[in-house]
Amino acid sequence: MQSEPVTITAGNVALRPLRPEEIDAEWAAMVAGDDVAVNVVPDEATFRARLERSGQMLDGWLDLAIDVSGHAVGRIQTFVPADRVDEPSTFNIGIGLHPPARGHGYAAEALDAFSRWLFESCGAARVEGRTDERNQAMQRVFTRLGWTQDGRVVDGGREWLLFTAPEHPRGH
């Protein structure tokens, strides 16, 4: 685990550790999330413990707030799905914006900055994202950033579209 918390800035967003007072809102968003974004609601204590160490990469897991003008408008993370445990240079990204923040380009800025950081700072050989087939907005973000659809994967008993980042994200 690195000593300094991860902070990444790009355009209108900053990716930074969650503040302790933001964890309740992220748990509420997880519980209220629709099935397009949330496959299975995790154990609350495990989820909160993960967010309490936000900003620190640990075994391929890293959670960061998506900050716009000093306020968390969502969360981005890299995680290790069960089918990628033996692939330490493959990173999977999950992202979620609070409803009022959607449609402003923040997801694209955050995803581009985060995937670039994973390639440049973490030695990623591959960066992936999974989304529900019904999540057209996320599919447009992936496509806009030059990610390619690499088929489908089953995770948690559910089928997801699999997208892969270009080795050199485009940047802004």
**CA-based nearest residue to 19, from 83, 78, 64:** 64
* pLDDT at residue number 172: 43
Domain ranges of the chain: 8-127
pLDDT exceeds cutoff 70 at 24: yes
pLDDT exceeds cutoff 60 at 44: yes
Most confident of 1-5, 25-29, 160-164: 160-164
Q: Which CATH class is domain 8-127?
A: alpha beta
The model's pTM is 0.89
CA distance 65 to 14: 8
* pLDDT at residue number 2: 53
- What the block records as the tokens of 1 is 């685990």
What's the mean per-residue pLDDT of the chain? 89
pLDDT exceeds cutoff 70 at 26: yes
pLDDT exceeds cutoff 80 at 145: yes
**pLDDT, tens digit, for every residue of 106-142?**
999 999 999 999 999 999 999 999 999 999 999 999 9
Q: Collapsing DSSP states into helix, strand and coil, what is residue 149? A: strand
Burial of 12 (0-12, 13-18, 19+ CB in 10 A): middle
